[in-house]
Amino acid sequence: MANPPIQIKNLDFAYGPVTVLEDACLTIADKEFICMVGPNGGGKTTLLKVMLGLLEPQKGTVSVFGQAPTLGRKWIGYLPQYASLDPSFPVTALDTVLMGRLGKTRSLGFYSKADHEAARAMLARVGLEKIEKRPLAALSGGQRQRVLIARALVSEPKLLLLDEPTSSLDDYVEKELYELLQELNKDLTVIVVSHDIAFVSSYVERVVCVNKQVHVHPTSEIGENIIHDMYGEHVHMVRHDQEQRHG
């Protein structure tokens, strides 16, 4: 069997004396579409950064496509939390996507024709082929997130990590974005952090709950008990609409 995109075994991570992840184990299979949920401060972003080799665990092992994260991360496209670019920054959609080629391009100091072609192809893939010359300031929030997804995709990743990509978007824009991710998932593995379990559970089959410990649940298991354990009694976000499952 090929090496899985992510394999984490018995991982501990602490910022100084504060333990954030404890004995975490997680295997993500090729072409899975996974949602990562958990309370604020539960450790989701930390776990993504460990996968990217940006943080080193104190204990345990992490492999990314069978390699150490610092090597395997060349196969990862990452959309960080709060990645919203300053809209007044004077760049076009195409310029922004091209930035994703910086680790890939072979030309020094300028982008090659191949880089431009790849960036245009990715803008088309996220449904924005007609707006490549528009300044970011002229785009909607949803369009900007698509541009950032195109930027993450243009390095030709096999795994896409998105940290709360829809937190500032309207419901219908969120739905469109998840439909795009579902489409992209035909070709690559997708891990998306979201607080909106009810919404996301109609797209994914497994949910990774991160609250110091990591537990994986099939979507069908997600009910009041698990939500309360994760978020506390006051949260009611269950929408068990399996009959409305997409795809």
Report the nearest approach of ligand ATP to the CB of residue 1 (Å). Answer: 30
Site for ligand ATP contains 189 (CB under 6 A): no
Element (H, E) at 103: none
Site for ligand ATP contains 15 (CB under 6 A): yes
Report the nearest approach of ligand ATP to the CB of residue 44 (Å). Answer: 4
Rounded Cα distance between 189 and 42, Å, is 23
Site for ligand ATP contains 45 (CB under 6 A): yes
Site for ligand ATP contains 20 (CB under 6 A): yes
- Residue spans of beta strands (DSSP E) within the chain: 6-15, 18-28, 33-37, 59-64, 76-79, 159-163, 189-193, 206-211, 213-218
- Between 41 and 247, name the residue whose CB sits nearer to ligand ATP: 41
- Between 24 and 97, name the residue whose CB sits nearer to ligand ATP: 24
CB count, 10 Å around CB of 172?
A: 9
Site for ligand ATP contains 38 (CB under 6 A): yes
The residue among 81, 82, 68, 78 whose CA lies nearest residue 99 is: 78
Task: Give the residue carrying structure tokens 């929408």.
Answer: 239
CB count, 10 Å around CB of 135?
A: 16
- Between 80 and 135, name the residue whose CB sits nearer to ligand ATP: 80
Report the nearest approach of ligand ATP to the CB of residue 15 (Å). Answer: 3
**In the set 5, 42, 69, 165, which binds ligand ATP (CB under 6 A)?**
42
Binding site for ligand ATP (CB under 6 A): 15, 20, 38, 40-46, 81
